[in-house]
Chains A and B, each alone.
Chain A
Amino acid sequence: MKFAYWLFTAFVGAATVGLTIFYFKGAPITQSPPPAVSKGIETIESDVFGQVYFIHDSDTGVVKTTLSFPSGEARNPYSEGMAHYVEHLAWASAFTEASGAKNHARHSNASTTEFSTNYWMKSSSRNLRSTVETLISVADPLTVSPQFAAEERDIILREYEFRQAEKPLLPIVFGMNSDLYSNGPLSRSVLGTPDKISKYWFANAKKLHQASHNLSEATLVIYGDVPKQRVKSLLASLDVPRISRTSVKRPDLIATDFKPFRNSVQMKRPGIVEDTYLYKSLAPLPDCGSVARCDLIIWLSYWILDSPMQGGVAGPLRFDDFITRSFWMDFNMVGTSHALLEFDAVPDRDANLNDIDRVFEKALRVAFEGGIPQQSFDRAKQQLTEYLGSFEYLEDYNAEQTALLLSRGAEVYSYDEEIQALKGIQLSDIQGFLAHFSNTSRTAVRKVYSE
Chain B
Amino acid sequence: MKNFILAVFGTLTLASCQQEGSREVTSEISPAGHPFTFMPIYEDGVTDITIEIAWPTTWAYEADKNPAVPLVASRAILSGGTSELSPQDVLILFEDKNAYGDMLAQPQHIIGSISFPKEHIDEILDVVQEMLARPQFNDRWLEREKSEFASRIATNNSTTNFRIWTAARFAIFGDQPANQSLSLTDPEIIAAVDQSDVRRWHRDVIGKTGVTVVVTGAISADDAGNAVDRLLADLPEGHPVELQSAQGNYAPVEIYLHDPEAPQTMIGFVGKLPIDEEGIHYEDHLAMGFFSRAGQSPLFDALRTELRASYQMFGGNSAYDRNNPFLFIGGGVEANKLVEARDVIKQTYDSYRVNPNMEGFSQFRAGLADQVAENVSYVDMAARGILDARLNLIDPSYVPNAGDKVTNTRAMDVSDRMAKSYPRGDQLIVLAVGPNPSDLPGACVITQPEQAVDCR
Contact = CB atoms under 8 A, between A and B. Distances in A.
Interface residues of B, number: 109
Interface stretch (B4-12, B193-201, B202-210): B4-12
B180 to A, nearest CB: 13
Given A31-B47, A154-B308, A273 B158 contact: yes
B159 A404 contact: no
A16 B328 CA distance: 13
Contacts of A50: none
B159 to A, nearest CB: 5
Contacts of B4: 295, 400-401, 404
A45 interface: no
Nearest to B331: A162
B91 interface: yes
Given A26-B380, A105-B295, A108-B295, A159 B162 contact: no
Given A21-B388, A302-B2, A390 B9 contact: yes
Interface in A394-440: 396-397, 400-401, 404, 408
Contacts of A330: 1, 3
B311 A162 contact: yes
A307 B317 CA distance: 38
Nearest to B284: A19
A347 to B, nearest CB: 9
Nearest to A163: B311
Interface stretch (A7-15, A226-234, A240-248): A7-15
B418 interface: no
Interface in A173-193: none
B263 A299 contact: no
A56 to B, nearest CB: 17
Contacts of B158: 166, 271, 273
Contact of B318 (A19, A25, A274, A379): A19
B296 A105 contact: yes
Given A11-B314, A302-B1, A393-B8, A30 B301 contact: no
A381 to B, nearest CB: 13
Contacts of A322: 140, 144
Interface string A19-41: 11110111111110100000000
A319 interface: yes
B154 A349 contact: no
B280 A13 contact: no
Contacts of B86: 319
A118 to B, nearest CB: 15
Interface of A: 1-2, 5, 8, 10-22, 24-31, 33, 102, 104-109, 151, 154-156, 158-159, 161-162, 165-166, 271, 273-274, 295-296, 298-299, 302-303, 306-309, 314-315, 318-319, 322, 325-326, 330-332, 346, 348-349, 379, 383, 386, 390-393, 396-397, 400-401, 404, 408
Interface of B: 1-5, 7-12, 44-48, 50, 86-88, 91-92, 95-96, 98, 100, 102, 104, 106-108, 115, 117, 119, 140, 143-144, 147-148, 151, 154-156, 158-162, 165-166, 168-169, 182-183, 217, 263-264, 279-280, 285, 293-297, 300-301, 304-305, 308-312, 314, 316-322, 325-326, 328, 331-334, 360, 368, 371-372, 374-381, 384-385, 388-389, 391-392, 399, 402
Given A18-B280, A109-B295, A166-B159, 18 more contacts: A11-B314, A13-B165, A16-B318, A19-B285, A22-B371, A25-B375, A28-B9, A31-B117, A104-B296, A108-B295, A158-B264, A273-B155, A307-B95, A330-B1, A349-B143, A391-B8, A391-B9, A393-B8
